[in-house]
Amino acid sequence: MSSQEKKKYFTFMLIPHSEGAVRCFRIPRFIIQTLGCLFIGALVCACYFYYDYSRVKSHLPELHQLRETNDKQKGEIESLANQAANLEEKLTELDELELQVQELLQATSQQSSGGVAQVASRGVEEGTGTGSIRQGVTPLARGGRGSREEAALLPLVAESLSSVEMQLDTYRENLQEMLTALEKRQDYLEAKPSIWPAQGRISSRYGYRKSPFGGSREFHQGLDIAAPRGTPVVATGAGVVTYAKWRSGYGNTVIIDHGYGFRTFYAHNSSLKVKVGQRVSKGEVIAHMGSTGRSTGSHVHYEVHVNGKPQNPANYLQ
């Protein structure tokens, strides 16, 4: 073998301690070089992995802390989402109350819808209505994780929601008070005798007049409305019938107690359509016009009493 070829190989000899043959191995140089490169590469990789493991291990406490913080923030977000959902329910309830208030205001015709906003917003800061509050609450109800900057604002958001919830509670109380007051007002207006008891012409007014029976001067404490026999006579306000039969001088008479100190009388009817104890609504037919009792023609004699004293019915007619 030439010297040039010998340079391409490494020869390894195994010499036993005891007697025996010497073994020789010849390995190509490139194999040794390749194995050496692989060993060096493996050593470099092992060093890198060890360094990376050490670096990650040093950050484990921070990672655990971040995980705990993340779990805590997740719980806070879920709590805020639940609180936001509760606010949504309250806002829905307030919308219904507002609608009831507006309907009652329109029914009583005492205030405009602008008055509702002015009174109902007493419990909420100016410029903050249920719509704007809902826009701020709805995104929270979706939950989810935000950025670190958003997470840092969680305590402020929680405080803001609590403040809004307190304002909504006050707002709801105001609406409830207004609704109660309007319902009482509506009941009063429904009970108050304020419409005409029948269609026809006024044949005699309240006050002193010349009596149709003899011509003497007498005090007439009601209002006479003349119309053909059978013309419907209606209740001028809601109430309870306390009298429904013949009355001396008045003929077939109906008396209604409206509460609030109001009582109304409907006399000289040809027939009655109600009974004692019956509750009637404003505008309900209670009798038909006639000329019973001390009467000179078909008409209804209508009286209004307030706290037991007769009043001029014309002061209550619309």
Mean pLDDT per 10-residue section of the chain, whose length is 318 residues: 63 73 74 82 85 76 74 68 71 75 70 37 42 47 48 62 73 79 87 95 92 82 96 97 95 97 97 97 96 94 96 92
Question: What pLDDT does residue 211 have?
Answer: 81
* pTM for the predicted model, two decimal places: 0.56
Specify the pLDDT at position 109. 59
CA atoms within 13 A on the CB side of 149: 0
pLDDT reported for residue 123: 38
The answer to whether the Cα torsion of 107, 109, 111, 113 is positive or negative is positive
Judge contact between 182 and 104, C-beta under 8 A: yes
Alpha carbons within 13 A on the beta-carbon side of 34: 5
The CA distance from 280 to 56, in Å, is 86
Residue 225 tokens read as: 């409305």
Question: Which CA distances in Å does 227 have to 117, 205, 272, 283, 302?
Answer: 47, 15, 17, 18, 13
Cβ–Cβ under 8 Å, residues 161 and 87: yes
Q: Are 138 and 89 in contact (CB under 8 A)?
A: no
130-141 and 29-108 helices, crossing angle to 10°: 150
Reduce the DSSP state of residue 220 to 3 states and report it: strand
The CA distance from 211 to 220, in Å, is 9
Q: Can you give the pLDDT at residue 48?
A: 83
CA 112/CA 121 separation, integer angstroms = 15
Q: What are the distances in angstroms from CA 173 to CA 82, 117, 158?
A: 22, 15, 23
Question: Token pair of 243, please?
Answer: 């009298």
- Phi, psi torsion values for 103, nearest 5 degrees: -65, -40
Q: How far separated are the first and last CA of the chain, in Å rounded?
A: 138
